[in-house]
Amino acid sequence: MKFKSSLFVGAVALAATSLVAISAQAGDKVRWKMQSTWSSQTAINGESAVYFSNKVKDLSGGDVQLRFHEPNALVPALEVWDAVKNGSVDAGYTTPGYHAGKIPSVSYFTAVPFGPGASEYHGWMEYGGGQQLKDREYAKYGLKALNCLTHAPETSGWFRKKINSVDELKGMKMRFFGLGAMVMTELGVSTQLLAGGDIYPALEKGVIDATEFSMPTHDLSLGFYQLAKFNYFPGWHQQTSIGELLMSQKGWGSLNKQQQTIINTACRDTMWWALVRSDAKQVPAMREMQDKHGVEFVTWSDADISKFKRAWDTVVEKKSKEDPLFAEITKSYNEFRANYNIWSSRAYLKQGKVY
């Protein structure tokens, strides 16, 4: 009888344990609110946010979902940092440059004027100390971010009238982003940071005289060609751009290893998808703007590019003296690029050289 009782108790205990295990698995489902800084209708960046959200769901079989929300649906588009920090939203699909009001130097982790291509840029982030610096600074605010978007070069601005020299920019009011905005300020431009959806009305109402935003696909989707017909190249300020999935450290830490791996894998997949898409899709976008909307593509002269570069060098010198974090990031970035040059100067064909 005691043996049978023991079997019964053991069976009950085993059943209870199994029920707990089943309940734990059911409770492992993740349902997060993720607000994007870019509209789902914005080419590449907004599309990538939706792509990422769907990829997480697919990889997890629906157990992990970071549900996409349009800009301003939960909080204002440029307030994702505070919203994630205080728990108003679980995650943000955004970019470090939009947090420059909190930590100006983190713009380094989005794009660098006269910076490298995607491979070298991510090389610095992952193998040259860039990511460690970013993680350290975000941790001070209880935040965690995964690189979750990478795209090709941008253009350097939309203007209502043709600009014949960088000197003509002085006194203009222009929407500009990240470290590039510091360069424009150095050149006498009055810059302000606006979310993508706020640029067109600001340009239409004359709040700004000109704008940069991204690349032809993005700019076409936002309709800048309706107000300005001169689109300038190259995007000296953003040769490569990186976006992020922003979370609280507490939220990230609450996920199990498998859930973290699913999200990280989805981010990696999204970066590759966006990078290739952003390069391939510019051709039809440029043709449409040129042939259908009468946009004129203008290339800055070498002399003008040199002026932008000298202004950037001045910004680096000034900011490095004023901001220890800026100086530290600059040192890390420059050291990696100097070492990388041993490889890149020999491995790659020189652009523009005729063989």
CA angle 242, 281, 286 (to 5 degrees): 110
So what's the pLDDT on residue 331?
98
Check if CATH label 3.40.190.170 holds for domain 30-153+239-280.
Answer: yes
pLDDT at site 28: 83
Distance between CA 258 and CA 271 in Å, rounded?
A: 20
Q: Is the dihedral of CA 175, 153, 284, 162 positive or negative?
A: positive
**Series of mean pLDDT values for 10-residue runs along the chain (355 residues):** 36 37 52 97 96 98 98 94 96 96 93 96 98 97 98 96 96 96 97 94 96 95 96 97 98 98 98 97 96 97 97 97 97 98 92 74
Q: Which of 192, 190, 204, 194 is nearest to 160 (CA)?
A: 204
pLDDT score at 27: 53
d(CA 191, CA 207): 11
Listed in sequence order, the residues at least 6 apart from 46 whose beta carbon sits closer than 8 Å to its beta carbon are 36, 38, 39, 40
Kindly list the domain boundaries of the chain, sorted by start residue. Answer: 30-153+239-280, 157-237+289-323
Q: Backbone dihedral region of 202: left (phi > 0), alpha (psi from -120 to 50 degrees) or beta?
A: alpha
Omega cis (within 30) before 71? no
Confidence at residue 265, expressed as pLDDT on a 0 to 100 scale: 98
Burial of 287: CB neighbours in 10 Å, binned 0-12, 13-18, 19+: exposed
CATH class of 157-237+289-323: alpha beta
For helices 178-186 and 302-322, angle between their N-to-C axes, nearest 10 degrees:
100
Give the pLDDT of residue 23. Answer: 29
Alpha carbons 2 and 338: distance in angstroms, whole number: 78
What pTM value is reported for the model? 0.89
Instruction: With H, G, I as helix, E, B as strand and everything else as coil, classify residue 140.
Output: coil
Asked if domains 30-153+239-280 and 157-237+289-323 share a fold, the reply is: yes
**CA dist., res. 108 & res. 191, Å (int):** 18
Q: pLDDT at position 75, please?
A: 95
Report the pLDDT value the prediction gives residue 13, as an integer from 0 to 100: 39
Tokens of 69: 């929300």
* Residues 182 and 259 sit within 8 Å (Cβ to Cβ): no
How far is Cα 137 from Cα 41, in angstroms, rounded to an integer?
32
**Which residues neighbour 320 within 8 Å (Cβ) at sequence distance 6 or greater?**
326, 327, 330
